[in-house]
């Protein structure tokens, strides 16, 4: 795959960036914590005040981080040994009034550099083939990915290559695809600049890897929900509604090797009279996949349309907005959900499919929480009732009891009780006194059968009836990690 620069010039650029200290660590050290934080919010005042020396690092910060025009001589010195004509020919820098400006977004990202198109500018509509850089969606997916060693990994819709960079840390072979040849040029340059080698394939969705299977597939697909128009390749799939996500889900059995995992960001529609959980679960009907889909955000149609029109600097296109909103109304779409879908080719006869709202704050890294969820789900699915009863359980560390109470004539009266995890996924579960008694007694010493027998005697209830009532509750509490098997 062709890169923006020749191989030798990529090596020279890497030498220049390394020599100047133009890395995430080097920039943070030069700017300091406050100026770095401000720059992350696009407030570059402090960064500009602190980078006036004219040395290579200051010049590169002002050029590529702050978006300033810098003198040609200073830019040439900062990019040395990369010749300035080569940098200009590749579009790395461009002529501007008073010197040179950045022509691409060159961003230090962790221990890497990422190249992409410059972000949107006020009043300038993004071109159809715009290639996004590191953004909120890409970092969300990166943080949510399960980081276990795998043989083969696929980044479906790689864009500039952010997910492929992360996959390179734990996959022996990385394949990355994209519909956009322009995106693949950026991804190829990102790979080469970081000394990495990926298999890069051009084509729509699954077409470039037809007939192949992978141990891990990640995707930040063009998931934007709408009438099927494809005006911007980074966000629009050309499929109507949430069809692109349904298509990816349905392909999971052919795409994943045995035991393989698929993780992708998705949007789904909330249709009047239907449950969104049923819709997302329906994407995987008949696939045999274990699935955990978590909804992180919900937007109403008006806010959704405004968001995506503004994203491509189209916010003043009133007709486009009206047509989009009319399409939502015609299809009884009341809201759009955003979240993470994880599916695993577990080979189970009766796979688990769980879709749930998780809009509470989640403690990073989410990828570890996803892995733990599937581990607990596997434990539950591999045991019958007698084995569940014979097991011992303990309360999760840090588990809290929260109560809502009303003051009455006789003092405080508890109205509702909740179990809450202050860390991790921060679950909050409303419980009744019987469940509280079960959890309170889970210290890892007694089997569940013994606990239930004690509860039955204390409440003068038949043990069998109590067992059948509490086993589904146990399943739920273990799945969420509030109770842990010993």
Q: HEC profile for 348-410?
A: CCCCCEEEEECCCCCCCCHHHHHHHHHHHHHHHHCCCHHHHHHCEEEECCCCEEEEEEEEECC
CA distance 266 to 389: 38
Q: Quick one: pLDDT at residue 361?
A: 73
The answer to whether the beta carbons of residues 253 and 299 sit under 8 Å apart is: no
Calculate mean pLDDT across residues 189-206: 97
pLDDT at site 44: 97
State pLDDT tens for residues 393-402: 999 999 999 9
Residue 360 has pLDDT above 80, yes or no: no
Q: Is the pLDDT of residue 123 over 80?
A: no
Q: Residue 317's pLDDT is what?
A: 81
pLDDT of residue 424: 87
Q: Please give the pLDDT value at position 13.
A: 98
What is the per-residue pLDDT for 312? 85
Give me the pLDDT at residue 365, please: 85
The per-residue pLDDT for 394 is 97
Q: Predicted confidence band at 10 (pLDDT cuts at 50, 70, 90)?
A: very high
Statement: residue 268 has pLDDT above 90: yes
Q: How do residues 54-101 score in pLDDT, each as one tens digit? A: 999 999 999 999 999 999 999 999 999 999 999 999 999 999 998 999
Helix, strand, coil percentages (3-state) for the chain, rounded to 5, are 40, 25, 35
Q: Looking at the predicted structure, is the pLDDT value of residue 15 above 90?
A: yes
Question: Which has the minimum average pLDDT: 118-122, 290-294, 323-327?
Answer: 118-122
Q: For 287-313, write each residue's pLDDT tens digit.
A: 999 999 999 999 999 999 999 999 888
Question: For position 379, what pLDDT does the model report?
Answer: 97
- The β-bridge relationship of strands 353-357 and 400-408 is unpaired
**In terms of DSSP bridges, do strands 112-116 and 105-109 run parallel, antiparallel, or are they unpaired?**
antiparallel
* Residue 7 neighbours by CB under 8 Å, 6+ apart: 192
The structural domains of the chain, ordered by start, are 7-102 (no CATH), 136-380 (3.40.50.150), 385-485 (1.10.10)
Report residue 359's pLDDT band, with 50, 70 and 90 as the boundaries.
confident
Chain mean pLDDT for the chain: 96
Give pLDDT, residue 313: 82
């Amino acid at each position: 795959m062709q890169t923006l620069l020749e191989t030798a010039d990529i090596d020279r650029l890497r030498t220049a960036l390394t020599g100047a200290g133009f890395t995430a660590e080097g920039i943070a050290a030069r700017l300091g914590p406050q100026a770095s934080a401000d720059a992350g919010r696009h407030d570059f005042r402090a960064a500009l005040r602190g980078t006036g020396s004219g040395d290579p690092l200051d010049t590169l910060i002002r050029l590529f981080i702050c978006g300033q025009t810098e003198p040609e001589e200073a830019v040439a010195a900062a990019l040395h040994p990369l010749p300035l004509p080569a940098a200009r020919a590749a579009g790395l820098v461009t002529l501007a009034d008073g010197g040179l400006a950045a022509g691409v977004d060159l961003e230090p990202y962790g221990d890497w550099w990422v190249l992409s198109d410059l972000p949107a500018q006020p009043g300038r509509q993004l071109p159809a083939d715009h290639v996004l850089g590191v953004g909120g969606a890409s970092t969300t997916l990166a943080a949510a990915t399960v980081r276990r060693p795998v043989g083969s990994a696929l980044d479906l819709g790689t864009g500039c290559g952010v997910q492929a960079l992360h996959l390179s840390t734990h996959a022996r072979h990385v394949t990355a695809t994209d519909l956009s040849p322009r995106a693949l040029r950026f991804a190829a340059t990102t790979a080469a600049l970081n000394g990495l080698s990926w298999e890069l394939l051009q084509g729509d969705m699954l077409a470039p890897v037809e007939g192949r299977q992978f141990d891990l597939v990640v995707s930040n697909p063009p998931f934007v929900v709408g009438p099927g128009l494809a005006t911007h390749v980074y966000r629009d799939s050309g499929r109507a509604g949430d069809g692109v996500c349904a298509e990816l889900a349905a392909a999971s059995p052919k795409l994943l090797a045995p035991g393989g995992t698929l993780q992708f960001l998705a949007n789904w529609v909330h249709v009047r009279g239907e449950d969104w959980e049923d819709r997302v679960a329906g994407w995987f009907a008949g696939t045999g996949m274990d699935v955990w889909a978590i909804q992180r955000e919900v937007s109403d149609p008006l806010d959704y349309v405004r968001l995506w029109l503004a994203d491509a600097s189209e916010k003043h296109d009133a007709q486009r907005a009206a047509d989009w909103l009319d399409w939502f109304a015609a299809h009884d779409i009341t809201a759009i959900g955003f979240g993470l879908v994880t599916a695993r080719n577990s080979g189970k006869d009766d796979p688990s499919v769980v879709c749930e709202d998780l809009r509470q704050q989640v403690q990073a890294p989410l990828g570890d929480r996803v892995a733990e969820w599937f581990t607990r789900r596997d434990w539950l699915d591999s045991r019958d009732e007698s084995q569940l009863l014979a097991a011992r359980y303990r309360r999760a560390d840090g588990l809290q009891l929260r109560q809502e109470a009303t003051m009455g004539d006789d003092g405080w009266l508890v109205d509702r009780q909740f179990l809450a995890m202050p860390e991790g996924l921060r679950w909050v579960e409303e419980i009744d006194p019987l469940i509280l008694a079960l959890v309170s007694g889970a210290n890892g010493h007694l089997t569940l059968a013994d606990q239930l027998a004690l509860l039955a005697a204390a409440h003068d209830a038949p043990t069998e009836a109590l067992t059948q009532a509490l086993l589904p509750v146990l399943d739920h509490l273990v799945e969420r990690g509030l109770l842990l098997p010993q």
